[in-house]
Structure 1
Amino acid sequence: MGKISKKTLNKVLLRTQTTQFSHNYERMQSLSLTYDFAPVIEELYKDKPKEQQVRAMQRYLEYFNTHPLAIPAILGICAAIEETTDEDHKDSVTNIKTGLMGPLAGLGDSMLNLTWYPIAGSIGASLCVESGSILGPIVMFLLINLLYWPLKYFGLHKGYEKGMDLIQNEQNGGLKIFDRLGNFANVLGVVVVSGLITSTVKLNTGIEFAAGEGTIALQDQLNNVMPCLLPVLLTALCYFLLKKGQGKNSVWVILGLLVACIVLSCFGILV
């Protein structure tokens, strides 16, 4: 697999687990990125002058910030470019690294922070709410890492194997594979969250109408027409309010729901 051994790449993979430990406000993840990539530089430059190794290290000390999930893929591509280019063309490493960190940061946020983390957290929380089981946080941890680790491993090793082809060669798919993963995550998120709404959001009305000598319960009629209509409407309202406030009003939304539910329950509107 070229000059860089699989053992060295696996060292890089393990080191990426510490990426978030050395943030700084000047260059963000640059220190941890340099630490992650050090095994590759040591292997590639072991028989070269020390000055070249120093310059190689300095390339990774420049400003860098992306999603931790994207770092292995970017380092895999950088490893391939470091291996195949001469010293006069090493600027391409910095250009590729800088060009990829933005798009892949957005992809990582959409796939994990905004999709998979809420799914895993909701499933774990539902286990705790329904039975008080300790399995809730364990399941959440496993769900996150069962997706996290394969994507990091695949990103690092495939990034190194494909090198520049992963970016330039549209015949091999280019970065479209990440677009497909993002679309898959969005679809999965919608399906799972939809199922969780019906199972965890409980909202029933106690409104009744007189009909001759008996009464008609509004909740029964709603269940006949569209079960779980009220939980869906409540979820849509919360989503609208949170989106309108860009998430900054989440505390007020929660407090408002608590107050509204207590007041409506006192009047028998909610049961």
Structure 2
Amino acid sequence: MEEVKLSKKELNKVFWRSFALQGSESYTDMQGMGYSYSILPALKKIYATDDEKYYESLYRNTEFFNTTPHVSTFIMGMSLALEEENAKTDDFQTETISSIKAALMGPVAGIGDSFYWGTFRVIAAGIGLSLAAQGNLLGPILYFLIYTILHFLGRYGCLRIGYKMGANAIEKAFNNDYLGSFSTSASIVGLMSIGAMTSSLVNFTIPAVFETKGGEINVQQMLDDIFPGLLSLGLTFFVYFLLKKNVKVLWIILAIFIFSILGVYIGLLG
């Protein structure tokens, strides 16, 4: 059969449709219907002359699928490259397509969650919150723009890379440690952003001053001389400890809210 190659037009349609990946989720197939809807224009071109394989591909791509939406297009691109192989090869094992999708869902979700939820969102929030805390309207705008632009670039780039590299993508990425290097770099930037946010946004001070015969003891000044920002850092790690203990975020927020009011009322906090 004549080889069919997808053009930029079909790939762009897949890209835009991929935003509807979670538009029809179910407990049995999760994102399966959204996945099939996303790649439908490409499948129509690949199997334009073979209705039987076309309908088989539609059914095959409604199978269970669940991964981070931001990078789901990487698997879509790879699947489409394999669908092209199936279209031009009579004895192609279609189970390979389903197997690769199933094998990649977990690892790709781990990478996507780490980058977009654990790194990019933190960086965007750090920039946005620092401006918003000063009453600058650019705060929420920059947060939206930074995260959205990174999302769009990642989603489009993953589609192109997955389609171009095909089934060899993961093997090449791991052999050259591209994912490891990128993950390490992203983690470093994310941790730097968290540190900067803690220093600039967490404000925890004790204004208590004790009178003595020789003068006075300023508790906050004494702590700052030992370790500037020690209380803010301690509060941050305490909240992190509670989260690791599976304490609900709502209870932590309420506890901080009540402690802050009582602390200011009795003069313990500033």
Aligned mates of 1:12, 1:178 — CA distance in 2: 24
Q: Look up the match of 1:235.
A: 236
Q: Look up the match of 1:33.
A: 35
Aligned mates of 2:200, 2:49 — CA distance in 1: 62
State the AA in 1 paired with 2:259.
Answer: A
State the AA in 1 paired with 2:241.
Answer: F
Q: Look up the match of 2:52.
A: 51
Paired residues of 1:12 and 1:39 also in contact (CA < 8 A): yes
Paired residues of 2:14 and 2:39 also in contact (CA < 8 A): yes
Aligned mates of 2:215, 2:143 — CA distance in 1: 48
Q: Please give the TM-score of this superposition, normalised by the length of structure 1.
A: 0.90
Aligned mates of 1:168, 1:177 — CA distance in 2: 11
Q: Look up the match of 1:3.
A: 5
Deviation of residue 45 (structure 1)?
Answer: 0.8
* 1:10-44 deviation line (CA, Å, top 9, x unaligned): 11111111212121222111111111111211111
Match of 2:154 among 134, 151, 156: 151
Aligned mates of 2:20, 2:179 — CA distance in 1: 24
**Percentage identity across aligned positions?**
33
Q: Gaps spanning 5+ residues in structure 1: where?
A: none
Aligned mates of 2:153, 2:169 — CA distance in 1: 18
Deviation of residue 114 (structure 1)?
Answer: 2.9
Deviation of residue 262 (structure 1)?
Answer: 2.3
Aligned mates of 2:258, 2:173 — CA distance in 1: 55
Alignment of 1:28-177 (within 5 A): 28-48=30-50, 50-85=51-86, 86-88=89-91, 89-131=93-135, 133-169=136-172, 173=176, 176-177=177-178
Aligned mates of 2:90, 2:107 — CA distance in 1: 27
Alignment of 1:4-23 (within 5 A): 4-23=6-25
* 1:168-209 deviation line (CA, Å, top 9, x unaligned): 346863xx4333333222221110011011111111112324
Q: Give RMSD over aligned pairs.
A: 2.1
Aligned residue pair count: 265
* Farther-moved stretch of structure 1 (79-88 vs 3-12): 79-88
Q: Look up the match of 1:251.
A: 250
* Farther-moved stretch of structure 1 (100-109 vs 209-218): 209-218
Q: Look up the match of 1:265.
A: 264
Deviation of residue 162 (structure 1)?
Answer: 1.1
Deviation of residue 147 (structure 1)?
Answer: 1.4
Paired residues of 2:23 and 2:34 also in contact (CA < 8 A): yes
Deviation of residue 221 (structure 1)?
Answer: 2.1
Deviation of residue 2 (structure 1)?
Answer: 6.6
Q: Please give the TM-score of this superposition, normalised by the length of structure 2.
A: 0.90
Consecutive aligned runs of 4 or more in structure 1 exceeding 6 Å deviation: none
State the AA in 2 paired with 1:115.
Answer: T
1:178 matches 2:179: yes
Paired residues of 1:77 and 1:159 also in contact (CA < 8 A): yes
Paired residues of 1:166 and 1:172 also in contact (CA < 8 A): no
Aligned mates of 1:259, 1:211 — CA distance in 2: 31
Paired residues of 1:242 and 1:250 also in contact (CA < 8 A): yes
Aligned mates of 1:166, 1:181 — CA distance in 2: 15
Structure-2 change in CA distance of 1:138 and 1:170 (3 Å): closer
Deviation of residue 106 (structure 1)?
Answer: 1.8
Structure-2 change in CA distance of 1:20 and 1:137 (3 Å): farther
